[in-house]
Amino acid sequence: MFNLKGKSAIITGGGSGIGRAISLLFAKQEAVVHIIELNVDAAQNTVDEIVKAGGSAFAHSCDVSNQQQMVAIYQSIGVIDILVNNAGIAHIGVADNTSEEDFIKIFNVNVRGVYNSLFAAIPLMKDNGGGVILNMASIASWVGIVSRFAYSMSKGAVAAMTMSVARDYIDNNIRCNSLSPARVHTPFVDGFIAKNYPGQEIEMFEKLSKSQPIGRMGKPEEVASLALYLCSDEAGFVTGCDYPLDGGFMNLNN
């Protein structure tokens, strides 16, 4: 089950964190993985690990907010069976202290980047007879989270785009779903804690971990496992859905 042999998969932001875990798992399941990354060194490190394990992968240096770059790279790849729109950045702030510059920066990566990826990939999927799209949303798409104004805006847009694409292209045999993780333990989390809470790293890690009712943060590999299911043929009847992966955060945090 869940074998991706013969399928070409694009993962944006596949060089680190959740994207890296997805890239490694998809390659293990025999997909040809194409990693789209602004940080090409991170992408190449993931590619090298995949190739060392006997898989097939390629790194592509690209700014997801640049539509011309995205279209050119996707057309050079040609056949796209699976697209995972994972690239994104975070931001801390409320509405009246989020600068216009920061708001636009979040929009350009998290919203425009997903749009550019869809714009570039969908025509190729249509020509290929269909495909699967998975967008990385967030629990911030659905619930209020303190000091995440711009980030929540961007992930709400991702969730809305997911439903729109699922409806618009169902007749083209294109499925589109989204994942909404709660806090996942990635290098970004460690960096965030070290930067904002120097000397309190252990205490803050515990506090952030326990904000999920299950008592811990998620693992990138757990997100990758659900991503694999949703992008596999076994999920052929699943489209237009969002899947919270949140340790009970949305429904049990009361």
Question: Active-site positions?
Answer: 151
Distance between CA atoms of residues 40 and 194, nearest Å = 25
Nearest one of 151, 253, 181 to 210, comparing CA atoms: 253
**What tokens were used for 59?**
């790194």
| Closest residue by Cα to residue 146 from 206, 73, 207, 195 | 207
CA gap 11, 138 in Å, rounded: 17
Question: What is d(CA 146, CA 83) in angstroms, rounded to the nearest whole number?
Answer: 31
* b/e sequence 165-197, b meaning 16+ C-beta within 10 Å: bbeebeeeebbbbbbbbbbbbbeebeeebeeee
E strand or H helix that includes residue 90: none
CA dist., res. 214 & res. 182, Å (int): 11
